[in-house]
Structure 1
């Protein structure tokens, strides 16, 4: 049996609807979501095709959640973030939980160690909506060190029940956003290859560059092989070639070499 939503939830939803089209919408929208599900933080942002994301609204109990969002995430790290990949692959509108779609080695990769762990996030879900062509808006809702708890099955049940309402409101509120161009991983791979040649005189093949990008996102050899249609052993060969050409011996060194190329 479904439990009733907390008292006055409808009033909070009404306030969010009344605020549509104004700067008051985001905080009112968050207040409604927080009334329905206990949330430690939110990050509302828009992803575009060929330009950096735009932060629409942030709130957190723990300052470290957003401490480096401008200097690290927006400047380039977003390109290897699992949520950005949802934008690239244009998933259906709805609710997504990071632990359900993150790459198999996400918690072991350098992006997680150098950025994500510092946010103290222990669980994260997001509503994904498409207010305009080439634009996706993600309403990320997190649990962090302030509570130290993951979302419960009951929390997730409620979050799914709210999905159509949340995505509909988001699409309406940010319908004025616009984007142009076409973003693909192939374009990103080409950019990295070109900049490695220009700045480091390192000439990677297309496949080596694809493997590098997937390593940075947190994919292991099996996952990379499935993505590229090659065997895990072949992935290991490309990884060795990649490391040798770059004169590196670890994922951390690969991260240090490539990340500055993404942030331009």
Structure 2
């Protein structure tokens, strides 16, 4: 008796009319200036979103927005607020800076353990109306990447592992198409008109509260801002949870604040006062500006 062959079933992707139309448009736009938008259309057809868009990430400049689709009624903050400073604490942006490969990255897989209860999330992220996101990142080089961000809002269901699988299934096709597109089109990726904001953000990260806190306290402060719990901060800094909590208490006392909300607000408020050409603490400049003149 002939032995039966055992074939492994393939995970299917539903090529409905919307997906087929999006792929057809993709090939038609190959080599044109609208090709990145066609890529976004394919991604949104494969994995529906409430809002989405395209950013360019730079290592030495602030992110540049190329496309943003969202419902303004669902947002409590201006659309461009991300590029004024909050991007510096974004887990997706920090992943890019770490040198991650081209790929699809789900926020819940890369965010710090306390991200969803962090003040960054509560004060900024949630007010955009976004509850969950997946970024499809395509590297142009070590210092630049196209980022197709996909978001679900607080009134929708979150993304699922199946959504991530579907996106990763089409990513090799899109990556090959993007490579071919840039061979044909050879566009110059635009740079922001000025990068003073990025320099101020980096300066604030480097020197915020340096006049008041010890180096170790500043290490703890940066982890707190990014949404790390005391336990995970302790793990990162190779110390104990109790020691981190003591540092945290000292940070609040020295900065005369009582919550993480005040810490986040203070950090963001100091960015415009940073002087990239100096090693000065932007907090001091911010406080001097607020102090009444005698």
TM over 0.5: yes
**Aligned-pair CA distance for 1:11:** 4.4
Query: CA offsets per residue over residues 181-232 of structure 1, 9 Å max, x none?
Result: xxxxxx97764453546xxxx4322222221111111111111122222222
Report SS of the residue matched to 2:130.
coil
Q: For residues 11 and 252 of structure 1, do their structure 2 counterparts lie closer, same or farther at Cα, with a shift above 3 Å needed?
A: closer
Q: 1:242 aligns with which of 241, 251, 269?
A: 251
Asked if 1:209 is matched to 2:222, the reply is no
1:94 aligned partner: 103
Query: CA offsets per residue over residues 92-127 of structure 1, 9 Å max, x none?
Result: 221111111111111111111111112222321111
Query: CA offsets per residue over residues 64-91 of structure 1, 9 Å max, x none?
Result: 3595231x21100110111111112111
2:56 aligned partner: 46
Structure 2 Cα separation of the partners of residues 230 and 136 of structure 1:
35
Contact 1:221 1:236 in 2 (8 A): yes
2:233 aligned partner: 224
Structure 2 Cα separation of the partners of residues 60 and 209 of structure 1:
36
Asked if 1:260 is matched to 2:260, the reply is no
Structure 1 Cα separation of the partners of residues 85 and 107 of structure 2:
19
Q: 2:164 aligns with which of 156, 161, 172?
A: 156
Q: For residues 3 and 250 of structure 1, do their structure 2 counterparts lie closer, same or farther at Cα, with a shift above 3 Å needed?
A: same
Q: For residues 189 and 176 of structure 1, do their structure 2 counterparts lie closer, same or farther at Cα, with a shift above 3 Å needed?
A: closer
Structure 2 Cα separation of the partners of residues 177 and 121 of structure 1:
27
2:146 aligned partner: 137
Contact 2:106 2:164 in 1 (8 A): no
Instruction: Report which stretch shifted further, 165-174 or 3-12.
Output: 165-174
Contact 1:128 1:167 in 2 (8 A): no
Q: Which runs of 5+ in 1 are unaligned?
A: 180-186
1:166 aligned partner: 174
Q: TM-score, normalised by structure 2?
A: 0.75
Report SS of the residue matched to 1:115.
helix
Structure 2 Cα separation of the partners of residues 193 and 153 of structure 1:
37
Q: Which runs of 5+ in 2 are unaligned?
A: 1-9, 192-199, 275-294
**Aligned-pair CA distance for 1:18:** 3.3
Structure 1 Cα separation of the partners of residues 260 and 231 of structure 2:
16
Contact 2:85 2:271 in 1 (8 A): yes
Structure 1 Cα separation of the partners of residues 259 and 154 of structure 2:
30
1:73 aligned partner: 82
**Aligned-pair CA distance for 1:143:** 1.6
Asked if 1:194 is matched to 2:204, the reply is no
Larger radius of gyration: 2
Report SS of the residue matched to 1:56.
strand
Cα-Cα RMSD: 2.8
Contact 1:79 1:262 in 2 (8 A): no
Asked if 1:177 is matched to 2:185, the reply is no
Q: For residues 214 and 262 of structure 1, do their structure 2 counterparts lie closer, same or farther at Cα, with a shift above 3 Å needed?
A: farther
Aligned residues: 251
Asked if 1:58 is matched to 2:68, the reply is yes
Q: For residues 152 and 252 of structure 1, do their structure 2 counterparts lie closer, same or farther at Cα, with a shift above 3 Å needed?
A: closer
**Aligned-pair CA distance for 1:40:** 2.0
